[in-house]
Amino acid sequence: MEDLIQKTAEVLTSAKYVVALTGAGISVESGIPPFRGKGGLWEKFDPMEVGHIDSFMKNPARVWKIFMGEMKTILAQAKPNDGHKGLARLEEMGILKTVITQNVDGLHQLAGNTDVIEFHGNFAWLYCMACGKRRRTVDVDLSQIPPRCECGGIFRPDCVFFGEMIPTEALERSQEAASRCDLMLVVGTSAVVQPAAFMPVIARQHGATVIEINPEPTPLTGMTSAFLLQGKAGEIMKKIIARLDETAAAKRRS
């Protein structure tokens, strides 16, 4: 593992344009459950029942109650962990340019990353399905389910449900970043939901090195990624940053 950390630090230092693709796994150490695997949301709920736009349209109150009510409490308390902070440090060092995230938790922005493409939207904002008015989720009273706008319309979160399109700008900017980068860090995603999972493939096809950070192998492992740093995002990112700091300090001394 130490060899791979060293190798990652070297590739990060020599890369010209680094992009990160993140998924639910990077927020697990912040107390937000992932979707798949042990303890995942989809173990508790059927994704087609709570995560599909058709279910929401059919019965918004039910979806609000069982899924978003729970998420709002979790998200309101979550703070960035060493995984998010590490990516923010990489931007501060001038190494990382863009984060493409599938997460709706806003933790990359809280950690300090300034160019975050929210591929699946976010939970920080809601909008009225009747008049389009936008409101911050924290300002909306969720004791009334489904929450309603002054106009009487129902609020929905500004996130992407199954069955919906990825916002055009997010998709186009992600494709551009993936084709442009020479290194893509893929952190905490099972890489099974498209088209997000295709971004590392685009990067690879354009000659970039792809490095994964995940406790488990994914469909990208051994196919698209050069190697897998196997472990928790927070722990691995902390080691990478420490190695980069050591290298920079040694350079200053010499």
Q: Is 84 a catalytic residue?
A: no
Distance (Å) of CA 179 to CA 67, 73, 108: 35, 37, 22
Q: How far is the CB of 236 from ligand OAD (least distance, A)?
A: 8
CA distances to 168, 219, 234 from 160, rounded to whole Å, are: 12, 23, 26
Q: Please give the distance of CA 39 from its chain centroid, rounded to a whole number.
A: 18
Cβ proximity to ligand OAD, 84 vs 149, nearer residue: 84
Q: From residue 172, how far is each of 167, 183, 199, 219 by CA, in Å?
A: 9, 19, 11, 23
Interface residue with ligand OAD among 209, 218, 224, 225 (CB under 6 A) is 218
What binding mask, one character per residue, do residues 126-165 give for ligand OAD by CB under 6 A, x or -? ----------------------------------x-x---
Cα–Cα distance, 104 to 117 (Å, whole number): 11
Stretch that binds ligand OAD, among 23-31, 55-63, 87-95, 138-146 (CB under 6 A): 23-31
The single residue of 52, 84, 108, 120 carrying the catalytic annotation is: 120
H-only helix segments in 141-198: 168-180
Q: Which is nearer to ligand OAD, 83 or 147 (CB)?
A: 83
Q: Which two tokens stand for residue 221?
A: 């492992």
189 binds ligand OAD (CB under 6 A): yes
Which residues form the interface with ligand OAD (CB under 6 A)?
23-26, 28-29, 34-37, 40, 47, 51, 102, 120, 160, 162, 188-190, 193, 214-216, 218, 232-233
Query: Could you give the residue numbers annotated as active site?
Result: 120
